[in-house]
Structure 1
Amino acid sequence: MEANEISYKQKFGKDLLTLLLSKYEQSQSFVTGIPGKMRPQLTIGKSPFARDYNDEMDFRKRHWMNERLFELEQEDVVQLTMAKYRSDEIEKVYLQWQAVEEAYRISGRTPLRTKLEQLRASLIPLSSHPWRWVQKWRQEMDDALAQGKAVRLDPDDVQGTVDLVHTLNELPLLGDRAVPIRIFSQRLFRDTKHLERQTLKRLISLAKQASGEQRETEEEWLDWLGLTRNPQSVFLCGSLAFRTRSGKQVDTSAFPGGLGLSGETIDMITDFFMPARQILTIENWTSYHHYLEQPSVRAGEVLVIYTGGYPNRVLQSFLRKLSQVVNEASNPPELLHWGDIDLGGIRIFKWIQSNFFSELRPYRMGVNTLLQYESQAAPVSEDYANQLLHALSEPQYADWLPVLETMIKRRIRLEQECIID
């Protein structure tokens, strides 16, 4: 035989068995391990091989394919059925149940069951993970893999899962301060960009799917996991005084346009002094800067703090210290939060309220504001409306029922930046 004929037959045989094994791996018989009545099969005329098989310009292809198929049938790897009235035309090919292992050997394909067991082994380090949601996810994946189901893991990328597991195990060790992604990547993989190229997307997807947490942006998800793309700061404006460990005292009212505090600065703060009679946290950057023009801010009556959606870890550290002073005050300031009038804005309000300021009240987030700026509001989709309906039945949103009902009735949501007076 010519070299071309030999290589053609070998490649065809491997490709054919790979296709049949792929059908087998997608069948219920693979999941149960019990051969079913229907064997993995393909019709030559409807397969990827049809064009070559029916190539009238080169009859050798059909001849070589037939010869290889007859060889496989003689080896009892497949069973063939011939087309009616055509002695040289094979119609269907069936994979023999007892020859599955032999088919894997001939094709050179790694058995899916082997890949699934490799995935199960790669998940073992998460068994005692300190985050309960990670433990639960690992158990769910292990149960599915044991049943022959890959679920949301890629059997052909075991190393990708190994990297994900390695990342998940290191995250709880980061502490309270978010670490820049590239520094973390260098620490784990000796490559500053490996995390972003290979693991970050699936890490965030997993957190969204399995953690039960709610976040609006990728940056917020990263911060929740303990990572950040850029250094974090706290931006505020108004009347606040504090003392540092070195004994120096700072009065923020000296900066009428506001200022930013780094994490290192916040760590150095030992005492707060609260001359302002009102603290207002603001979700969005544009609204924050616009509000700084208010006379009450210039007069030192209000301390304005930018949250940027869910507060990042540096801001959480600041709010933790500030809330302790507020809670101990005999005459505490009024606590307000201004955010979007939508599910995200409400969730951020509830999060700040439950974690820092139990007496927090919404500012310009009620029904009257929603209706006043209805012409500026954005329409909501059917899916979003269903989320609003679901929120109506959740106890945590009991105080927000009038707003949720109005959003559903009017099919609108209002972003904070639309409210400019």
Structure 2
Amino acid sequence: MKNYKQLLLDKLIDSYESSKIYKGEITRDNKIYFKFNNKNLKEYFDEYNYKYKEEIDIACEQLEKENFIKIHRTEGYNSHIIDKVQLLESSVEGIYKYLKRKEKKHKEKDLITLLKQYSERDDLLGRFTLFAEEKIEKNLSIKKYLDIENIEQCNDILKGIDNVLREENEIFKRNFSIKVYGDSKKYAHIESRVIKIIKDFSEDEIPTYNIIDNYTYVYFKGNIDLKLKNSNISANDFIGGIAISSKDIENINEIKVCSDKLVTIENLTSFNNYNEECGVIYLGGYHNKVRQKFLSKIYEQNPNINYYHFGDIDAGGFKILVHLINKTKIQFKALNMDSETLLQNIDYAKPLTTNDIIEINRLLENDEYKEYSDVLSMMLKLNKKLEQEIIF
């Protein structure tokens, strides 16, 4: 049987803790109610099982006798039906004791103590903890990031972020969980919250995240030869290209691009269609740490060839290109990402969305995108963008 006394008191205290009364603000009506309706307490109105109404009525009457609540019934013919119950503010302290529930301000104090362990850091975890402290002090919710009702989970999330930021090499999720928590499954339960905080508070467009389910693979083809410990491999021997795992990149002794050009390609279809005589690497949107390591190894041994990037002619495509340049420190040139290419394929172009226009204007104000201002301006003028799959 459901404990309706606890349920009703918890609901009333929840409302109390989120009210202006709790904040100490003066209000016209300083009363806290829980309204009985089909949304809040569906079983009370169950015409096929009247026992629920009886149980709830008894629970309310007992709570009223204990001076925790006041019952307000519907007037007239339906006076046997409870309309709402009112929290008696003078009994709040007793209700907390009855529920064995810690008051919100004490939970906030515990969480702030936890946050302060990280708030002086000069990284995304430091930025997040300062943000969270400020929100709590203003009595604003941070529930999308941390649940104040579960301080243990909050600790696990902050600990998880701390260790994710320290992890320089790829590690399997379960191994990471054992390493940090001594439990192979614990991290999986909080990973979504960890990732959200990392994404929302990182200064990088795509922050480094080395916690993986499986090895990451880099796909490449064309004029690229590898020399490993026990073998030599030529990508030209594989029509569809080959892939190397993140674990094997460190075992490459020598990597040679047997032409004067290497091209990174944003989209898999375009990678498969690209047939020019050169080295070709599938980037898959924003490159990650593994592809960065592979590209850095290529550049280290092939510094004098030309490096190009082929992506969509849209805001995202140019953001990927600039991100690639910034992270690898390789001066990639844009390939098929100019005004001429856009005009030649205008019949296949798509109209810009409102968000596209906002983002393109933002890029035009950024000096990092000055080199691409002509094509960005042309996109605005024509109100068009172009996916790279169109170009063969």
Of 276, 286, 300, the residue aligned with 2:259 is 276
C-alpha distance in 2 between matches for 1:282 and 1:27:
54
Of 62, 66, 71, the residue aligned with 2:65 is 71
* 1:244-293 alpha-carbon deviations (Å, 9 max, x no partner): 5x5x78463652534333445432445555541112111222211221x3
Pairing 1:21–2:24 present: no
For residue 107 of structure 1, report the CA deviation from its aligned partner: 4.0
C-alpha distance in 1 between matches for 2:382 and 2:296:
38
Q: Quick check: 2:299–2:330 contact (8 Å CA) kept in 1?
A: no
Name the residue aligned to 2:222: 238
Pairing 1:320–2:280 present: no
Q: Residues 33-182 of structure 1 correspond to what in structure 2 (within 5 A)?
A: 33=24, 36-42=27-33, 48=40, 52=44, 64=58, 67-68=61-62, 70-72=64-66, 75=67, 77-78=68-69, 93-127=85-119, 132-151=123-142, 152=144, 153-175=146-168, 177-182=169-174
Query: For residue 268 of structure 2, what is the amino acid of its counterpart?
Result: W
* 1:162-220 alpha-carbon deviations (Å, 9 max, x no partner): 22222112223322x32222332343345544433x122112221221113224xxxxx
Q: Quick check: 2:266–2:284 contact (8 Å CA) kept in 1?
A: yes
Of 383, 404, 416, the residue aligned with 2:355 is 383
Q: Quick check: 1:239–1:251 contact (8 Å CA) kept in 2?
A: no
Name the residue aligned to 1:267: 250
For residue 402 of structure 1, report the CA deviation from its aligned partner: 3.0
Q: Which runs of 5+ in 2 are unaligned?
A: none
* 1:1-40 alpha-carbon deviations (Å, 9 max, x no partner): xxxxxx99xx55444332321211111332x345655323
Task: Indicate the SS of the match to 1:341.
Answer: coil
For residue 419 of structure 1, report the CA deviation from its aligned partner: 1.9
Q: Quick check: 2:342–2:386 contact (8 Å CA) kept in 1?
A: yes
C-alpha distance in 1 between matches for 2:320 and 2:314:
10
C-alpha distance in 2 between matches for 1:367 and 1:398:
14
Query: Mean alpha-carbon deviation: is it higher for 107-116 or for 200-209?
Result: 107-116
Name the residue aligned to 2:306: 334
Alignment root-mean-square deviation, CA: 3.8
For residue 141 of structure 1, report the CA deviation from its aligned partner: 1.0
Name the residue aligned to 1:4: none
Q: How many residues align?
A: 385
C-alpha distance in 2 between matches for 1:145 and 1:118:
11
| TM-score after normalising by structure 2 | 0.81
Name the residue aligned to 2:195: 204
Of 212, 237, 262, the residue aligned with 1:228 is 212
Name the residue aligned to 1:187: 179
Query: Mean alpha-carbon deviation: is it higher for 33-42 or for 352-361?
Result: 33-42
C-alpha distance in 2 between matches for 1:279 and 1:188:
40
Q: Quick check: 1:367–1:406 contact (8 Å CA) kept in 2?
A: yes
| C-alpha spacing 1:371/1:101, structure 2 compared with 1 (3 Å) | farther
Name the residue aligned to 1:397: 369
* 1:33-80 alpha-carbon deviations (Å, 9 max, x no partner): 45655323227666946985999x8997797467436424xx4x4567
- Structure with more of its chain in helix, by fraction: 1
Of 227, 237, 248, the residue aligned with 1:255 is 237
| Structure of larger gyration radius | 1
| TM-score after normalising by structure 1 | 0.76
Task: Indicate the SS of the match to 2:220.
Answer: strand
